[in-house]
Amino acid sequence: MNDLDDLKRNTNLVVLLESYGVALKKRGAEWDGLCVAHTEKNPSMQVYESKGDGIMRWHCKSCGAGGTVIDAIMVLERCDESAAINRLKANGFHGGKKMATIEPIKPAMNEWIHQVAPEEMPDMTSKDYGQPVAIWRYNDEQGRCLGYVARYEKSKDQKSYRPYTFGSYSENAKAEWKPKTWTAGKRPLYGLDLLAARPDAKVAICEGEKAADAARKLLPAMVCITWPGGANGIKAVDWSPLTNRDVLLIPDADKSGVGYDAMLGVAGFLLAIGCKVRIIDTSDQPDKWDLADALEDGWTTAQLQEWAKPRITSLTSREIEKQREDAEKKTALPEQLSGNSETNHAPEFDEDSSIYDLPPLEPEPYMPMIINVQPQQIADAPAVKPAKLKRHTRVTESLAPELIEFSDDHLAKVWANSDGQDWLYCHGWECWMHWDGSRWAIDRKRSVTNIVSDYLNSAAAWREAGSCHSRIGAVLVE
């Protein structure tokens, strides 16, 4: 025996788990409960006392996790074994005593799950910045608290923002306040309760909570909101509460163009959910200017409306793509514009950019294009009788230009020139979108597949033609 075994043996694992908010139900000599290592709805974790050494252990029949009290603390506190042992010793957790609050090591396992928070505000004191100079509360549609964003300032040039949410790393563990942002993909908008209260009002989206508060004073006829996380947090926000709304985007006047580009990213999500989107050109204002500055300078609602009216333009998916292409041309090298660049320039790494959180794209396997055709006579077909050609006849370079109409590239260009202007593939949503005359609508019925199939069914010349490789490597004929 050693001191570590004595520590495990003298610790009541049941009481420890219950102190973390894990509900256990006694069943004979064991206890059943929801697993602390993963999220589940039906209890699959058992807590029991080993007959051989008298040490209490836990085991999940679903995910296989388990161990002694040390392993339980490692999972619940997201710390290593050494830290778990030290915490257990420091708290003297024996014989049913409650464990004192300890600041856990930064977690590295499960995703943070936020939930509706209690009304009592958390302590937002920062070791580096002290007390926050401003606090913004985020509510859900019913006005219940979802968390806060605090702003800290050491000096005019040293500012920091920190979100505080109420949640846990497992639905089976006790929720608590932490300086963590909201669950990815479910980050709320600042002003959900205002959107729900005024479902028919127009919406103004600003960059940052301070600008949104100023907009509410300058534009009282509109619901003025923002989103958490800035430009890097756009993809993690739940934009669905804005479905089919009339939205005006008000970017900061960043001379670098970051603010405007961020709003274009927001517009992409809004157009996909049926919003009417417009944007104000703020480039004539000083660098970093926003509506908070306008309010401090004494602007009135009438003055803001007079300034904004000639600077408002509508945004469509085509307009967004055109502006991005124009921006790329402005920053491109001359050899890139002429198409003579011989080197591939890797993009500069930006550790703050959210695109580096995405998994690498897997190369798509080559899928031969099968064409069902009816016999047709083509005027410029090769002067060779099909009956004398063997199957899988290789096409020589001299014949390849004659058969260019059979290539994947050519057929794609034909379709793009005819119907392509009404179709758009959204990589962020991984779906095709169709222009219905007023907005881009998601192609939920996969109509684009049928349209492309119609082109393929009438594209070839000979009966039962086989696959046509995009480089015309071979043509299958009778």
Same structural domain, 168 and 221: no
**By CB neighbour count within 10 A (0-12 exposed, 13-18 middle, 19+ buried), where does 1 fall?**
exposed
Does some domain include residue 285? yes
Does some domain include residue 43? yes
Q: Which of 282, 309, 328 is at the close of a domain?
A: 328
Does some domain include residue 103? no
Instruction: Write phi, then psi, for 147 (nearest 5 degrees).
Output: 140, -175
Q: Which of 125-139, 254-268, 392-406 has the lowest mean pLDDT?
A: 392-406
Model confidence, pTM: 0.51
Same structural domain, 8 and 79: yes
Does some domain include residue 299? yes
Same structural domain, 171 and 219: no
Same structural domain, 121 and 202: no
For position 369, what pLDDT does the model report? Answer: 52
Give the rounded percent of residues in the chain with a pLDDT score beyond 70.
Answer: 69
Most confident region among 51-60, 215-224, 259-268, 449-458 by mean pLDDT = 215-224
Most confident region among 8-12, 156-160, 209-213, 398-402 by mean pLDDT = 209-213
Q: Which of 125, 147, 178 is at the close of a domain?
A: 178
For position 351, what pLDDT does the model report? Answer: 37
Same structural domain, 29 and 72: yes
Same structural domain, 281 and 164: no
Does some domain include residue 249? yes
Does some domain include residue 344? no
Does some domain include residue 12? yes
Same structural domain, 155 and 251: no
Contact 281, 311 (CB under 8 A): yes
CATH at residue 240:
3.40.1360.10
How far, in Å, CA of 34 to CA of 76, rounded?
A: 13
CATH at residue 78:
3.90.580.10
More confident residue, 52 or 333: 52
What DSSP string runs through 211-264?
Answer: HHHHHHHH-TTSEEEB-TTGGGGGGGB--GGGTT-EEEEE--B-TTSHHHHHHH
For position 370, what pLDDT does the model report? Answer: 52
Does some domain include residue 275? yes
**pLDDT over threshold 60, residue 465:** no
Of 160, 175, 166, 93, nearest to 126 (Cα)? Answer: 160
Q: Per the structure, how many domains does the chain have? A: 4
Collect contacts of 300-308 with beta carbons under 8 A, ≥24 apart: 300/218, 301/218, 301/219, 301/220, 304/218, 304/219, 308/280
Q: Could you tell me the CA-to-CA distances from 104 to 10, 148, 175 in Å, in that order? A: 23, 21, 14
Same structural domain, 153 and 209: no
More confident residue, 301 or 424: 301
- Segment 78-91 shows an average pLDDT of 79
Same structural domain, 197 and 316: yes
**pLDDT over threshold 50, residue 400:** no
Same structural domain, 7 and 62: yes
Q: Which of 85-89, 94-98, 154-158, 257-261 has the lowest mean pLDDT?
A: 94-98
Same structural domain, 149 and 275: no
Predicted confidence band of residue 477 (pLDDT cuts 50, 70, 90):
very low
Q: Which domain holds residue 74?
A: 3-91
Most confident region among 95-109, 146-160, 243-257 by mean pLDDT = 243-257
Q: Which of 178, 203, 235 is at the close of a domain?
A: 178
pLDDT tens column, 243-292: 999 999 999 998 888 888 889 889 988 988 989 999 999 999 999 899 99
Identity of residue 443: D
**Partners of 1 in beta bridges:** none
Same structural domain, 392 and 322: no
How far, in Å, CA of 84 to CA of 89, rounded?
A: 9
Q: Could you tell me the CA-to-CA distances from 431 to 119, 272, 426, 427 in Å, in that order? A: 41, 10, 6, 7
For position 270, what pLDDT does the model report? Answer: 92
